[in-house]
């Protein structure tokens, strides 16, 4: 029926019963009923379990309380005596009542061993025998039980009472009546019922909420209707001949039908994985990740060309939208025309070329990769010729005729018996109208589709070209390899009898594109070769080639550059005055020419500072200031106020460097060292024990702000100091601590020379492809023989000069160095006289018989003498001049308590010096400095 307006009246369920019946038929109603039933069963089972547990706990508590009270009363002092008294009831009844009230029990009874009561909560039971089996308690064993009988059912405990000799003289029985135990459980029943009802209400409400949400999701449909809808969805989704992908906002694949899996070759577990992990073509993956709209874009998938459409999905329930992609296989259409297939192959070949050409920074290998990638998919044979400067890493020269001569760098073919000139031969392009020469002159690829008609090519080498034609060569494309407008070489693509089709114009453009890509990689390799060669040359000129032969130490070293090229690690052994030696190792951050040049500057600076003979911590401080000054100067504005624009390379400062500087004295056996951010050394004792001394590690050089600290350590004779850089210890697969442990195990083998130890360390610790430089220096400490040391204390008296001089002459005669006596006396006279006149006590003289004779005069003054040239009218000022003339080296070093002036005299210096007539050594004391 219709109303007056003609509209149908709304139909509503006739009653609540009809609505409930409709709800029961839906999936949501069925889930609600099942959840409500499960909640009811769980709550009922839990309530029953709690009830029985409460009863069990009540009875167990009654047993424990009864036994504890009985034990306490039975062991009460004086109870055996009370049992032996004439009237035990009179003495024990008050005590039993008090104990019963205090413990909250229903009765506390004291019994004879026959069970007759002395006391009880009910006075009418006193004197009567207790029922039940009391034999265990009489035998001395306490027990608890649930007693049922007169006078009442109870949980009771019976404990024997023993006298001083351990005999059972009575019993104590305590307990709680069963009725009172039950009252405890009954008191908890309302709480259990209330909790069960509350849980039932909460569970039912939760089930109702879940059912309501499910009803909204399923729109009130039943299980059969949902199953039928899912069947229709699956049938439609997987039966269509078009791939469908649904991707969520988090870039995870939500759904893929069978056609999409087939077209994209997706793995079985593709759903819920990130798009980037599905192995898709990069362009296809980028399209899905970008979320942009696409219509019939052509994408590559394996050997298929796919037409791709992408649309965003509508937001649902407040969630961000994803995207849906549809795919159609258009490979069959491409096969009809044939051109799309060729384009796909060319595209795939370019993809492969991008990944396979230029994998290394080697010029020849890059040329080989170009020839390998084009055979056999594009050409049957490929030859690559490069200019000689390119092979060496140099910039090609623009000299006329330079391009007419090249070296064959690579050749690849489908067969190995080709008639072409082999790799390494010089190739000449002398005929102007040959395809190779035309390509070089024009700067672009040249096609010779029929080599039989290429008269210029045939005229270049009549005999060779005839053999090539007989072999089957019939088509050629010559491509000049140019980068930045500079010709680097030539690539020639040949087709022979294996491919009957000749090259065409489309092949020409493809070959030119392939050659352009390869030329960029070759130029990058050439530039790297040049930089690497420059860095190697620079570094070899800056690192020490031979270490000095010293009496203080026996040294051995190893240096290995990183796989990526030379770096800034360095080491050095510097002789110091007084037979001492400085051991240095350092590391500059980075690789290449800049790191090698920085290393050379630092090494030179260390050499210069070491001539000042300053302590290690002061030397590192001066080196730190120098680096900071260099960084400030090189990081400033360009000279002349010029603004740095494009093409002007910014100056590179010293980005970071570490250094360890150690000074060893063979006279005392003492070594002082300081570190600027560098790992400390390893000390190998003569017995093979290895330790890593604690060394204050300062900040790296150039950071500034904190002074450096020096640490001293005694080196036993025969011990070894091992200095190294961190590249020896750590790499991608090994951390610093693991490398330090391995180094300690490798060094802990005595009986080897330093050279053998260096070889063993590298054999054990060298990485297959080290990512950082490795510098290793091993120095075995020696001690100067005490018989080669002579010392004298000089009093502050000019007359003592002659005595010390004569003593020194006698010592030189004992050492067999008489030829140096006169020179040594001359030098000592001057130095001692100067110390007495201008220095402070104590004054000491020391002679060291090393490879040279070392004369040292020390005093407590810090005033340093200086060399000057006296005029002919001056009475003095010639002392240091004489020392400088007759000593091989001389100088001053400062100590904590003064200074030391030293001079080295060489036995091979020549004849004794000739003094002016009438001048003796004693007269030299009158010469002023």
Tokens representing residue 678 in the block: 């560098």
Q: Strand pairing partners for 155? A: 146, 176
Residues 6+ positions from 460 with CB-CB distance below 8 Å: 428, 429, 430, 431, 434
- Predicted pLDDT at 711: 93
The C-alpha atoms of residue 901 and residue 890 are separated, in whole angstroms, by 7
Which range (83-92, 219-228, 310-319) has the least confidence? 219-228
683: pLDDT strictly greater than 90 = yes
Residue 328 to residue 306: CA distance in whole angstroms: 5
Which residues lie closer than 8 Å to 851 by C-beta, 6 or more apart? 551
Q: Per-residue pLDDT for 869 more than 70?
A: no
Mean pLDDT of the chain: 80
Q: Is 701 helix (H, G, I), strand (E, B) or coil?
A: strand
Q: Which of 447-451, 740-744, 795-799, 871-875 is predicted with the least confidence, judged by mean pLDDT?
A: 871-875
Taking residues 238-262, report their average pLDDT: 82
85 pLDDT higher than 50:
yes
Whether the predicted pLDDT of 666 surpasses 90: yes
Rounded Cα distance between 677 and 17, Å, is 86
For residue 222, what pLDDT band results from cuts at 50, 70 and 90?
low
Task: Identify whether the C-beta of residue 700 lies closer than 8 Å to the C-beta of residue 741.
Answer: no
Mean predicted confidence (pLDDT) in 548-560: 88
Question: Which of residues 926 and 345 earns the better pLDDT score?
Answer: 345
Q: Residue 655 in contact with residue 589, Cβ under 8 Å?
A: yes
Of 528, 654, 525, 553, the residue nearest 600 (C-alpha): 654
pLDDT number for residue 639: 45
What's the confidence (pLDDT) of residue 588? 86
Across 332-336, 513-517, 660-664, 739-743, which has the greatest mean pLDDT? Answer: 660-664
Q: What is the DSSP pairing of strand 670-676 with strand 697-698?
A: parallel
Paired strand residues for 793: 844
Q: What is the three-state SS of 26-77?
A: CHHHHHHHHHHHHHHHHHHHHHHHHHHHHHHHHHHHHHHHHHHHHHHHHCCC
- Measured distance CA(867)–CA(881) in Å, rounded: 6
Averaged pLDDT for residues 794-813: 87
Q: How confident is the model at residue 533 (pLDDT cuts 50, 70, 90)?
A: confident
Averaged pLDDT for residues 379-390: 91
pLDDT band at residue 887, thresholds of 50, 70 and 90?
A: confident
Please give the pLDDT value at position 239. Answer: 66
> How much of the chain, in percent, has pLDDT values that exceed 90?
15
pLDDT at 332: 64
Provide the pLDDT confidence category of residue 924 given band limits of 50, 70 and 90. Answer: very low
pLDDT for the residue 755: 92
Q: Which residue has the higher pLDDT, 7 or 451?
A: 451
* Count of residues in the chain: 929
Whether 271 shows a pLDDT value over 90: the answer reads no
Find the Cα–Cα–Cα–Cα dihedral 283, 287, 290, 296, rounded to 10°.
140
Taking alpha carbons only, the member of 493, 481, 478 closest to residue 376 is: 493
* Confidence check: pLDDT of 822 > 80: yes
Contact of 364 with 409, CB cutoff 8 Å: yes
The pLDDT, as a whole number, for residue 910 is 46
Average pLDDT over every residue of 337-352: 70
The whole-number pLDDT of residue 862 equals 80
Query: Above pLDDT 70, what percent of the chain?
Result: 82
Q: Per-residue pLDDT tens for 596-621?
A: 778 888 888 999 999 888 899 999 99
**CA dihedral sign, ordered 383, 387, 390, 396:** negative
The mean per-residue pLDDT over the stretch 17-33 comes to: 58
pLDDT bucket at 777, cuts 50 / 70 / 90: very high
Mean pLDDT of 198-218: 71
Query: Position of tokens 């809808």?
Result: 229
What pLDDT does residue 612 have? 86
Decide: 704 and 676 in contact? Cβ < 8 Å: no
Please, which pLDDT band fits residue 333 given cuts at 50, 70 and 90?
low
Please check whether residue 251 is in contact with residue 274, taking contact to mean a CB–CB distance below 8 angstroms.
Answer: yes
**Would you give the end-to-end CA distance of the chain in angstroms?**
139
- Nearest one of 593, 597, 478 to 527, comparing CA atoms: 593
Q: Is the whole model's pTM more than 0.85, yes or no? A: no
Question: What are the CA-CA distances from residue 853 to residues 274, 304, 610, 906 (Å)?
Answer: 79, 87, 21, 6
Asked if residue 293 lies in contact with residue 325, where contact means CB atoms within 8 angstroms, the answer is: no
Summarised one tens digit per residue, pLDDT across range 403-428 is 778 999 999 999 888 888 899 888 88
pLDDT in the model for residue 476 = 92
Q: Which of the 8 DSSP states describes residue 922?
A: G
Q: How far apart are CA 571 and CA 378, in angstroms?
A: 53
User: Which range, 2-11, 71-80, 599-608, has the best average confidence (pLDDT)?
Assistant: 599-608
Position with higher pLDDT, 843 vs 197? 843
In which band, very low, low, confident or very high, does the pLDDT at 925 lie, cut at 50, 70 and 90?
very low
Does residue 918 register a pLDDT over 50? Answer: no
917: pLDDT strictly greater than 70:
no
For 375, phi and psi rounded to 5 degrees? -110, 130
pLDDT band (50, 70, 90) for residue 263 = confident
Instruction: Report residue 311 as tokens.
Output: 């649309």
Task: Flag whether pLDDT at 833 surpasses 80.
Answer: yes
Question: What tokens appear for 558 in the block?
Answer: 């190893």
Stretch among 188-197, 358-367, 919-928 having the lowest mean pLDDT: 919-928
* Res 893 pLDDT > 90: no
Cα–Cα distance, 837 to 223 (Å, whole number): 117
**Mean pLDDT, rounded, for 539-554:** 80
Confidence check: pLDDT of 868 > 90: no
Among 51-65, 505-519, 659-673, name the most confident range. Answer: 659-673
- Spatial separation of the C-alpha atoms in residues 386 and 407, rounded to whole Å: 5
pLDDT band at residue 275 using 50, 70 and 90 as cut-offs: confident
- Alpha-carbon distance 359 to 365, whole Å? 9
Three-class DSSP labels, 273-309: CEHHHCCCCHHHHHHHHHCCCEEEEEEEECCEEEEEE
CA atoms of 688 and 93, how far apart (whole Å): 88
Of 627, 632, 719, 631, nearest to 681 by C-alpha is 719
Q: Can you tell me the distance from the alpha carbon of 857 to that of 842, in angstroms, rounded to the nearest whole number? A: 11
For 896-925, give one letter per residue: b (16+ CB within 10 A) or e. eebbbbbbbbeeebeeeeeeeeeeebeebb
Separation CA 444–CA 440 (nearest Å): 7
Residues 647-656 pLDDT 10s? 444 445 556 7
Q: What is the pLDDT of residue 46?
A: 75
The whole-number pLDDT of residue 561 equals 77
Structure tokens at 191: 């709480």
Quick check: 283 pLDDT over 70? yes
Query: 661 and 584 in contact (C-beta within 8 Å)?
Result: yes
Q: What integer pLDDT is reported at residue 715 of this predicted model?
A: 93
């Amino acid at each position: 029926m219709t109303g007056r307006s003609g509209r149908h009246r709304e139909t509503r369920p006739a009653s609540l019963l009809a609505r409930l019946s409709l709800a029961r038929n839906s999936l949501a109603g069925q889930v609600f009923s099942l959840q409500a039933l499960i909640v009811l069963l769980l709550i009922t089972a839990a309530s029953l379990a709690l009830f029985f547990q409460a009863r069990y706990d009540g009875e167990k508590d009654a047993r424990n309380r009864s036994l504890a009270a009985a034990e306490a009363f039975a062991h009460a002092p004086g109870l055996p005596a009370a049992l032996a008294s004439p009237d035990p009831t009179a003495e024990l009844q008050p005590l039993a009542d008090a104990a019963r009230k205090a413990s909250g029990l229903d009765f506390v009874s004291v019994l004879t061993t026959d069970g007759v009561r002395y006391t009880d909560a009910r006075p009418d039971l006193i004197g009567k025998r207790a029922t039940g089996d009391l034999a265990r308690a009489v035998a001395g064993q306490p027990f608890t039980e649930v007693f049922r009988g007169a006078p009442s059912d109870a949980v009771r405990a019976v404990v024997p009472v023993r006298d001083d000799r351990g005999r059972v003289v009575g019993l104590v029985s305590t307990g709680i009546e069963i009725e009172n135990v039950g009252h405890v459980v009954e008191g908890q029943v309302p709480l259990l019922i209330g909790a069960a009802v509350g849980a039932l209400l909460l569970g039912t409400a939760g089930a109702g909420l879940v059912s309501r949400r499910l009803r909204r999701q399923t729109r009130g449909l039943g299980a059969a209707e949902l199953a039928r809808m899912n069947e229709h969805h699956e049938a439609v989704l997987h039966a269509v001949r078009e791939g469908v992908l649904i991707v969520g906002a988090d870039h995870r694949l939500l759904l893929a039908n069978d056609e999409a899996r087939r077209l994209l070759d997706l793995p079985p577990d593709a759903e819920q994985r990130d798009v980037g992990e599905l192995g898709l073509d990069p362009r296809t993956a980028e399209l899905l990740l970008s979320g942009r709209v696409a219509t019939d874009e052509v994408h590559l998938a394996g050997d298929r060309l796919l037409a791709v459409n992408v649309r965003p999905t509508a937001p649902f329930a407040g969630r961000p939208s994803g995207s849906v992609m549809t795919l159609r296989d258009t490979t069959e259409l491409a096969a009809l025309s044939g051109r799309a297939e060729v384009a796909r192959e060319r595209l795939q070949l370019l993809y492969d070329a991008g990944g396979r050409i230029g994998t290394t920074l080697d010029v020849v290998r890059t040329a080989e990769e170009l020839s390998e990638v084009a055979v056999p998919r594009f050409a049957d044979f490929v030859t690559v010729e490069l200019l000689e400067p390119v092979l060496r890493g140099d910039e090609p020269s623009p000299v006329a005729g330079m391009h007419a001569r090249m070296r064959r760098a690579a050749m690849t073919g489908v067969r190995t018996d080709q008639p072409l000139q082999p790799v390494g031969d010089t190739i000449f392009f002398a005929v102007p109208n040959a395809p190779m020469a035309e390509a070089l002159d024009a700067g672009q690829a040249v096609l010779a589709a029929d080599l039989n008609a290429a008269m210029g090519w045939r005229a270049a080498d009549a005999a060779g070209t005839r053999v090539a034609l007989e072999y089957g060569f019939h088509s050629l494309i010559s491509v000049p390899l140019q980068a930045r407008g500079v010709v680097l070489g030539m690539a020639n693509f040949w087709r022979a009898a294996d491919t009957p089709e000749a090259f065409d114009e489309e092949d020409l453009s493809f070959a030119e594109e392939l050659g352009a890509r390869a030329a960029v990689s070759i130029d990058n390799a050439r530039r790297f070769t040049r930089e690497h060669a420059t860095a190697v040359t620079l570094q070899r000129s800056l690192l020490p080639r031979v270490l000095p032969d010293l009496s203080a130490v026996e040294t051995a070293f190893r240096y290995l550059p990183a796989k990526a090229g030379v770096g800034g690690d360095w080491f050095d052994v510097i002789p110091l005055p007084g037979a001492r030696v400085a051991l240095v190792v350092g590391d500059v951050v980075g690789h290449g020419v800049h790191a090698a040049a920085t290393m050379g500057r630092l090494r030179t600076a260390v050499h210069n500072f070491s001539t000042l003979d300053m302590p290690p911590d002061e030397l590192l401080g001066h080196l730190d200031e120098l680096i900071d000054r260099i960084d400030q100067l090189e990081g400033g504005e360009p000279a002349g106020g010029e603004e740095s624009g494009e093409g002007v390379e910014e100056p590179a400062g010293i980005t970071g460097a570490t250094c360890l500087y150690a000074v060893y004295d063979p006279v005392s056996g003492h070594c002082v060292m300081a570190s600027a951010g560098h790992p400390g050394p390893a000390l190998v004792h003569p017995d093979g024990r290895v330790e890593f001394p604690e060394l204050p590690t300062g900040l790296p050089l150039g950071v500034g702000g904190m002074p450096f600290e020096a640490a001293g350590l005694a080196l036993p004779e025969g011990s070894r100091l091992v200095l190294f850089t961190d590249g020896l210890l750590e790499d991608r697969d090994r951390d610093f601590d693991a490398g330090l442990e391995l180094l300690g195990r490798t060094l802990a083998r005595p009986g080897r020379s330093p050279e053998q130890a260096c070889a063993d360390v590298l054999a054990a610790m060298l990485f297959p492809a080290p990512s950082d430089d490795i510098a290793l220096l091993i120095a075995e400490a020696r001690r100067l023989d005490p018989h080669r040391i002579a010392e004298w204390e000089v009093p502050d008296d000019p007359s003592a000069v002659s005595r010390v001089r004569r003593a020194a002459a006698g010592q030189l005669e004992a050492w067999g160095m008489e030829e140096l006596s006169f020179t040594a006396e001359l030098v000592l006279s001057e130095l001692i006289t100067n110390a007495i006149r201008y220095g402070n006590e104590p004054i000491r003289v020391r002679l060291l018989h090393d490879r040279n004779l070392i004369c040292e005069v020390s005093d407590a003054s810090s005033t340093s003498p200086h060399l000057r040239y006296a005029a002919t009218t001056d009475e003095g000022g010639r002392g240091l001049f004489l020392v400088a003339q007759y000593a091989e080296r001389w100088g001053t070093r400062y100590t904590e308590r003064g200074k030391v002036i030293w001079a080295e005299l060489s036995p091979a210096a020549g004849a004794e010096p000739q003094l002016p007539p009438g001048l003796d050594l004693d007269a030299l004391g009158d010469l002023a400095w």
